[in-house]
Amino acid sequence: MPSAIKGRLWRHDELIVACNLYFTLPFGQMHARNPSVIALASALGRTPSSIAMKLVNFASLDPAHQARGVSGLKGVSRMDKEVWQEFHANWSRMASESERLLEDVLAVDQKPVKKKVGAAEIVLPAPTQPTERTASVQVRVMQSFFRKAVLAAYGWQCCVTGNPVPQLLIASHILPWGDFPEQRLNPSNGLCLAAHLDRAFDSGLITFGTDMQLVLSSRLRAYLPNQSLQREFVSIEGSPLRMPERFRPGSEFVEYHRQNIFRP
């Protein structure tokens, strides 16, 4: 691994990797003690503090922080802003590129670095070998970025029930993956849902109203009375969608789901 050099200018590819980390860490975890920050710093030959400072710079560009009146450091560079805009202009391209670069810079370690956030694990994944980068692996890598970004935005908890078990959480697409390729990796097209709610949402058996409260389909109600449905769906009907710390779900995306996928 390269040794840390104080004051070294940031390269464009390094900023892309740092921005990837920003989008896939929950707020409150972007500090120099975070093992993911330490791992990236080691791989880039930088100090954990310099990585943490760069994450704070990206935070100053985040509308979610700006809306809360939180300001970052004053040292945001032109290149910081360019990389930020590159992600927002083309999530698919930048998700793929940033995950590839992340694999490359961590290639010397060959081991994932895990960070506990409650019961959740934030992971800088072990790199795949270049020969493994087939089309199917590319899709998996891109979906991995989407999952990390969406779940981090919701603090690794279901946006309806608060379920915090990582194995039971899905980064659910609001606009279907197959129909809207340009929005596939846009984190604002994602909801963190418990697995059974994800399946129901994807099937049009539930949706969210204009007030962002949970709505049940009459096709689901047709199976009532049923204790399981009463417990898992009816009891939470009308529950508000808990908004994420960033990447608020696009209202036009939810409207499309309500009008075109939901089965009243």
What is residue 107's predicted lDDT score, i.e. its pLDDT?
Answer: 72
Sequence-ordered list of residues with C-beta below 8 angstroms from that of 17, at least 6 positions apart, any chain? 40, 44, 98, 101, 102, 105
pTM over 0.75: yes
What is residue 115's predicted lDDT score, i.e. its pLDDT?
Answer: 47
Summarised one tens digit per residue, pLDDT across range 234-248 is 999 999 999 998 999
Q: Taking residues 67-71, what's their average pLDDT?
A: 62
Summarised one tens digit per residue, pLDDT across range 189-199 is 999 999 999 99
First to last CA, the chain: 57
Q: How many helices (H) and strands (E) does the chain have?
A: 11, 6
- Residue 122's pLDDT band, with cuts at 50, 70 and 90, is low
Other CB atoms within a 10 A radius of the CB of residue 164 amount to 16
Answer whether 233's CB lies under 8 Å from 207's CB.
no
Out of 12-16, 160-164, 243-247, pick the least confident: 243-247
- Token pair listed for 26: 């929950």
- Token pair listed for 31: 């500090």
Q: Residue 73 pLDDT more than 70?
A: no
Q: Taking residues 89-116, what's their average pLDDT?
A: 77
**CA atoms within 13 A of residue 114's CA, in its CB half-sphere:** 6
What is residue 134's predicted lDDT score, i.e. its pLDDT?
Answer: 60
Q: Residue 146 pLDDT more than 80?
A: yes
- Residue 250's pLDDT band, with cuts at 50, 70 and 90, is very high
Answer whether 206's CB lies under 8 Å from 217's CB.
yes
Q: Residue 135 pLDDT more than 90?
A: no
Answer whether 112's CB lies under 8 Å from 124's CB.
yes
Angle between helices 135-153 and 12-24 (to 10 degrees): 60
Q: What percent of the chain has pLDDT over 70?
A: 82
What is the biggest distance separating any 2 CA atoms in the chain, rounded to whole angstroms?
66
Residue type (1 letter), 27: F
What is residue 74's predicted lDDT score, i.e. its pLDDT?
Answer: 63
Out of 51-55, 120-124, 140-144, pick the least confident: 120-124
- Phi, psi (rounded to 5 degrees) for 140: -60, -40
Answer whether 61's CB lies under 8 Å from 75's CB.
no
What is residue 40's predicted lDDT score, i.e. its pLDDT?
Answer: 94
| Residue linked to tokens 């075109």 | 260
Round to whole Å and give the CA distance between 88 and 173.
Answer: 17
Q: Residue 118 pLDDT more than 90?
A: no
Q: Taking residues 148-174, what's their average pLDDT?
A: 97
Answer whether 200's CB lies under 8 Å from 160's CB.
no
Q: Residue 91 pLDDT more than 50?
A: yes
Q: Taking residues 72-100, what's their average pLDDT?
A: 89
| Residue linked to tokens 């049009």 | 204
**Alpha carbon distances (Å) from 171 to 92, 156, 209, 217, 232:** 16, 10, 20, 21, 19
Q: Residue 205 pLDDT more than 50?
A: yes
Q: What is the dihedral of CA 143, 146, 147, 151, to 10 degrees?
A: 180
What is residue 64's predicted lDDT score, i.e. its pLDDT?
Answer: 82
DSSP states of 85-116 as a string? HHHHH-HHHHHHHHHHHHHHHTTTT-S-EEEE
Q: Taking residues 211-230, what's their average pLDDT?
A: 97
